[in-house]
Structure 1
Amino acid sequence: MNKKTELRNDWTKEEVEAIYHLPLMELIYKAASVHREWHDPSEVQICTLLSIKTGGCPEDCSYCGQAARYHTNIKVQALLPTETVIEHARKAKESGSSRFCMAAAWREVRDNRDFDRVIDMVKGVNELGLEVCCTLGMLTEEQAERLQEAGLHAYNHNLDTSEQYYEEIISTRTFDNRINTINNVRKAGITVCSGGIIGLGETHRDRISMILTLATMPKHPDSVPVNALARVAGTPLENNPKVDTWEMVRMIATARIVMPASVIRLSAGRIEMDETEQAWCFMAGANSIFTGERETLLVTPNPGVSEDMQMLTNLGLKPMIKESAKTTCTTH
């Protein structure tokens, strides 16, 4: 594919700000043009996210229903049996997913039997031929190396918001803790999945700052999730207003322009978007979604796999096929 837009890691705040504030239709046109240079615009990567350990987290992330200190209706669930997780991954593959992500509501990974079980899960999912992703909280370099040796393809660790606004949302860890884990993941040779959430009460400057942090990393994240706040009853942000769809489109388009090679994931908040609104996000450069049989994204509602497949059909889109699968079946 003829790639004309260069990859840059030296973006300035002023440059990103200028892109972000372009008239919306011009911004979408620019983003769509970049997207076509770097990606097949007809392909969307289908990812499945499974909560392998739910609730009881000691963190105080203001948006999260899994924080133990908030009174939500979320049921605490211990680490799932390995066989159960592998069966979920098998079903996800059969439904069209090419990436399977396992999430545990931990502050950090600890070197114990639970982590040993996660290592076994990674090995088992990897053997199915899926891209394996985990999000388990903070990681040391040695823990990242163990995951890489087990076959982990990607590690998700979102920035959530800007460095300046971070302490307004989370006080139990720092923005630097986030960056350190991302660095440990990268050192181990695992691809980085990192993005953030809009609708937390942040300003446009905060959104621009978050994108700038991602776009000026030594290597852009392999994938960048863009989440709209999923408001959970019982959390401090439960009464925040719904994120406007055009705000999501603006974030996705800006991320696409400054990180052209990355997969941009339209993540949380899709349940409140109709098909037309999601189509605008795909036009602006999103080329991945999370779906699943449980119709949840961790602990919040999400469209189901059959609904998503019908949407892709309606929009003339198709699930992305992994490169390894392409070479073996000569037909992500």
Structure 2
Amino acid sequence: MLMKDQSMLRHDWREEELLAVYDKPLLELIYEAATVHRMWHRADEIQLSTLLSVKTGGCPEDCSYCGQAARYHTGIEVQSLLPTETVIAHAREAKEQGASRFCMAAAWREVRDNRDFDRIIDMVKGVNALGMEVCCTLGMLTGEQAKRLQEAGLYAYNHNLDTSENYYDEIISTRTFDNRLQTIANVRNAGITVCSGGIIGLGESKADRLSMLQTLANMEIHPESVPINALAPVQGTPLQDNPKVDIWDMVRMIATARLVMPATMVRLSAERTEMTEAEQAWCFMAGANSIFTGKREKLLVTPNPGIPEDLDMLAKLGLKPMSRS
């Protein structure tokens, strides 16, 4: 019997406690995380989540890691909002290949109340009708916009913190950390599940990484989904020359997230093409129970393994795609 008692979860983690967890001897940390993982989740299941860029490039933000920012010369082709029918077809194909969650991403700073948002609403309704968990990441949104998405059947909204509050201004200047928290509050208040995580490898310190997790773990309700991304450097962005994230740093982040947010789906996200199957297996052992797949072997605009490749890896590891309960 899996643990379901939300009263067992903590929301008062202190900085020194998180540091003590993160700095445990590596194999002890992984063992503890794997044990907690098995108390709250089926250890033989990995959720396949397909992410589709429904509107690509041309974003006015200045996120230092992002190839879709209009101000950087990254060579990424700008794509206007896809037709609704095209998106629904992608979702149907993803479901047939084993995905139970479908996320639509638009390179917007914020949602605007216009015909494009009306089309997003139609996309949400269409994907929801397929019986999939439907997720969107569209930038900042108001409480009323969140309510419209919830009424259309949106299951989850992704809005990553990216990094700690203290390091945030080093990465982004066009919106504030509080802006992100407000959007997350709007999502929660509308009755939509929250997907929020961050990126490591931005030049942040260990303290910054743990501060980001502390912000998430001390929310009144833990995010139902926490993506842990390794920076995928994009040529033309300010962080193009940042070094590759060490795999054991990824494993420690995933294990720490698992231990402080036991009920949460921890998602092994960007830069998996730089990880071997064995390295990804360590991430699953440490508590990751979801991976992102992308159409045309892309995760938005960066390389990503294809679904057949991922299914082959899961089979080797004795894992199976999670079905929607």
Q: TM-score, normalised by structure 2?
A: 0.98
Is 1:71 matched up with 2:54? no
Residue in 2 that maps onto 1:295: 297
Are residues 1:308 and 2:310 paired?
Answer: yes
Q: Deviations over 1:162-214 (max 9, x none)?
A: 00000000000000000000000000000000000000000000001000000
Q: Does the C-alpha gap of structure 1 residues 308 and 166 become closer, same or farther in structure 2, counting only changes over 3 Å? A: same
CA contact (8 A) 1:4 1:37 kept: no
In structure 1, stretches of 5+ residues that fail to align are 324-332
Q: Is the 8 A contact 2:2 2:41 kept in 1?
A: no
- The equivalent residue for 2:241 is 239
Name the amino acid aligned to 1:3. Answer: M
Instruction: Give the distance between the partners of 1:235 and 1:301, measured in 2 at CA.
Output: 16
Q: Is the 8 A contact 2:226 2:266 kept in 1?
A: yes
- Secondary structure of 2:204 counterpart: coil
1:17 maps onto 2:19 in alignment: yes
- Given that 1:52 and 1:104 are in contact with CA atoms closer than 8 Å, whether structure 2 keeps it comes out as yes
Larger mean CA deviation between 10-19 and 165-174 belongs to 10-19
Match of 1:327 in 2: none
- Match of residue 278 from structure 2: 276
Identity of aligned residues (%): 76
Name the CA distance, whole Å, in 2 between partners of 1:292 and 1:110.
26
Aligned-partner Cα distance in 1 for 2:114–2:54: 16
Give the aligned partner of residue 265 of structure 2.
Answer: 263
Q: Equivalents in 1 of 2:165, 2:72: separation in Å? A: 24
Question: Which digits, 9 at most, give the CA deviation of each residue in 1:223-259, with x for residues without a partner?
Answer: 0000000000000000000001100000000000000
Distance 1:248 1:292 in 2: 21
Over the aligned positions, Cα root-mean-square deviation in angstroms equals: 0.9
TM-aligned CA deviation for residue 3 of structure 1:
2.9
Q: Structure 1 residues 79 and 31 mapped into 2: Cα distance closer, same or farther (>3 Å)?
A: same
Whole-Å separation in 1 of the counterparts to 2:159 and 2:273: 22
**Contact conserved, 1:65 with 1:234, CA < 8 A, in 2?**
yes
Structure 1 length-normalised TM: 0.96
The one-letter amino acid paired with 1:266 is L
TM-aligned CA deviation for residue 292 of structure 1 = 3.0
Taking a change above 3 Å as real, the CA distance of residues 78 and 255 of structure 1, as seen in their structure-2 partners, is same
Q: Which residue number corresponds to residue 100 of structure 1?
A: 102
Q: Quote the Cα distance in structure 2 between the aligned partners of 1:77 and 1:221.
A: 30
Report the 3-state secondary structure (helix = DSSP H, G, I; strand = E; otherwise coil) of the residue aligned with 1:313. Answer: helix
Gaps of 5+ in 2: none
User: 1:42 aligned to 36, 40, 44, which one?
Assistant: 44
- Which residue does 2:64 correspond to in 1? 62
